[in-house]
Amino acid sequence: MQAIEAMPGVIAPSAVIAEAPAAELPRDEIGDRLIAEGLAHNSFLLDLNHALTVPHDWTLPAPWNLPSRLFRFPIEVSEYQEGGRRLGLMHPALVDHPFVKHVSQVMGMAIPPGGAPNPYGYTKTGLGMWWHAVDLISAGRWQDALDTRQFTTDAHLLQAVTFSLSCGREEGDALTPAEARHIFDVLGVACPADPNTILCSFPRPGPVTADDKVERWPVNTGCDAPGDTAWAIVIGLETGWFAKDRSGHLQWTRLGRDRHQAGPSATFIEQSSGQGAFAF
């Protein structure tokens, strides 16, 4: 019987296809070492978190025991897929952090500053400074935030003041306007010459109705300068133009809505009473 020849370009059923040997992947030397030394659980979490975490059972001295994510995650870790995993400090001053010293000793290497940027140059070091400011001020630790301001920036501190005044509950650790004024004094941020103009530059108040059918008037800030925004929030609370709802979020009051509608003039009319009112 004549054998059937395979047509050109068609592989015969009995043919064996030889596969090229797979390229050997480079080892994740830094990642493997971190895991072996107990500094990380696995490579998946390293790539997910992009940071080393201070163990929960560590007892740290002041100021490293403050409730700041910058102090909790002091070392940034790049992804293995970036062609070699790297470590970097989230802030240069973290070189004195006890956990950083421990990692440096275990790994036998100095942890460089500047974080561990990805191939596009992005690093979480800037985010870390925001963490430090907002975590401490939101926790009622505004004095600690001022005492450790070398780990953040004045702009981040002012933005944290705005955030805490806008979202913090009245009870507990919420920042008060008086405390905000003290922060302004320490930072050397003077009250704007015309706070009415700043307040009236906020987006026009508008009602929002949620699932509970309650009408709310949320305050949306519109200033670019962190100090001006923070001052406007303080003045709005002190004059009764703003108030907080039960969830702690800032709302326009009827008085504040009338004030905004009048624009940055010295006087305005209260619609509820029909009487004239002064800006202050």
Q: Are residues 118 and 206 in the same domain?
A: no
Residue 39 covered by a domain = yes
- The number of distinct structural domains making up the chain is 2
pTM over 0.75: yes
User: What is the average pLDDT value for the chain, to the nearest integer?
Assistant: 87
Which comes out higher in pLDDT, residue 272 or 251? Answer: 251
Q: Are residues 114 and 199 in the same domain?
A: no
How sure is the predictor about 84, in pLDDT bands with cuts at 50, 70 and 90? confident
Answer whether 168's CB lies under 8 Å from 248's CB: yes
Residue 4 covered by a domain = no
pLDDT of 202 over the 80 cut: yes
Residue 112 covered by a domain = yes
Write down the pLDDT at residue 200: 87
Residue 163 covered by a domain = no
Tally: H helices and E strands in the chain: 11, 9
Write down the pLDDT at residue 122: 94
The CA–CA distances, whole Å, from 280 to 30, 229, 255 equal 61, 18, 12
Q: Are residues 36 and 120 in the same domain?
A: yes
The Cα angle at residue 255 between residues 254 and 259, in degrees rounded to 5: 115
pLDDT of 136 over the 90 cut: yes
Write down the pLDDT at residue 257: 93
> For the residues 244-271, what does the mean pLDDT come to?
83
Write down the pLDDT at residue 38: 95
Per-residue model confidence as pLDDT tens digits over 19-62: 555 456 578 899 999 999 999 999 999 989 999 999 999 999 99
Domain hosting 261: range is 191-278
Residue 270 covered by a domain = yes
Q: CA-CA distance, 150 to 141, in Å (whole number)? A: 15
How sure is the predictor about 247, in pLDDT bands with cuts at 50, 70 and 90? confident
Write down the pLDDT at residue 53: 97
Residue 97 covered by a domain = yes
**Residue bearing tokens 């072996």:** 36
Within 10 angstroms of residue 169's Cβ, the number of other Cβ atoms is 13
